[in-house]
Amino acid sequence: MIRAVVWNEYVHERENPVVGGIYPEGIHGAIAAGLDADDGIDASTATLDQPENGLPLDRLKETDVLLWWGHKAHPKVDDATVDRVAQRVHEGMGLIVLHSGHFSKVFKRLMGTPCSLRWREAGERERLWAINRSHPILAGLGDRIELPNEEMYGEPFLVPEPLETVLISWFEGGEVFRSGMTWQRGAGRIFYFRPGHETYPTYHNPTVQRLLRNAVHWAYNPAAAWTDVHEAPNVPVDKAPEKIEQKGGSLHKAGEEGYR
């Protein structure tokens, strides 16, 4: 049973009647309901206004895959929350970043790039083309996904070259976008999925729901958490795999910690 947590800032739904009408249970609620249709996934939710942004350390330790939707409230996410999430990704937790989450602190921290793009909110048609239709994230989805109304995101999308380009979008207004990409950071797998503007019912779309279920399975790393992934252990001379003798000058005393 993969433990998935859907995080949402949960702001638009409560402030904007259009969004609230589409997502009465919140965007997180709709996504979690879609995930729960999979017997192998146990989905729960977390929101910005909860203590520690809904993601205290204890909860993150019991999270296998985190999904992240944010937009208006990116700056309100605590830096300590970003630290905890990044640490857990490095340890092996999967991360699925959705739509406007491209500008979240979490995603920027893990990418090391601006994560910027062009955008237009015109309800235009989006067609996502599969680059590798046999990729596990696209299982059962065919060679393309059509969404009748979506926000446009256009290239250049300032992210590092991905491990895999999974989907590329065509937009009615003339732009393109790499709408599905994968990266690895430490032991953790990351998938970015573009669609999901708050004024359209994208997360109620059965195809999108299937894709997100697939992505949760893909992002799940069954290995034990790599909890010391940030440590830089000294390997003293007498513990070297091969027998060697100390030579030359030395700055560190025996057994001393390294600098960081």
Please say which residue, 28 or 105, places its beta carbon nearer to its own copies: 105
Positions 202 through 231 that interact with its own copies (CB under 8 A): 221-224, 226, 229-231
Residue 57 or 158 having the CB closest to its own copies: 158
What's the min distance (Å) between Cβ of 194 and its own copies?
13
Site residues (CB under 8 A) for its own copies, limited to 10-29: 12, 16, 18-19
92, 221 Cβ separation under 8 angstroms: yes
Number of residues that bind its own copies (CB under 8 A): 101
Q: Fill in the per-residue mask, 91 to 120: x = in contact with its own copies (CB under 8 A), - = not in contact.
A: -x-------x--x-----xxxxxx-xxxxx
Could you say which residues in the range 227-256 bind its own copies, by CB under 8 A? 229-237, 240-242, 244-252
**Distance, CA of 142 to CA of 131 (rounded, Å):** 11
The CB-of-21 to its own copies minimum distance in angstroms stands at: 9
User: Distance between CA atoms of 219 and 182, rounded to whole angstroms?
Assistant: 9
Q: How far is the CB of 44 from its own copies (least distance, A)?
A: 24
Q: Where are the beta strands (DSSP E) in 99-226?
A: 118-130, 144-154, 164-171, 176-185, 188-193
Instruction: State which of positions 151-180 bind its own copies (CB under 8 A).
Output: 152, 154-158, 160-161, 163-165, 168-176, 178
CA distance 29 to 239: 52
Asked if residue 50 binds its own copies (CB under 8 A), the reply is no
Rank residues 44 and 127 by Cβ distance to its own copies and give the closer one.
127
Helical packing angle, 26-36 and 206-219, nearest 10°: 70
Q: Does 36 bind its own copies (CB under 8 A)?
A: no
Please tell me the distance from the alpha carbon of residue 151 to that of residue 88, in angstroms, as a whole number.
31
Q: Compute the distance between CA of residue 156 and CA of residue 26 in angstroms, rounded to an integer.
A: 30
Per DSSP, 210 falls in state H
CB of 10 to its own copies, least distance (A): 14
Residue appearing with tokens 């009615």: 172
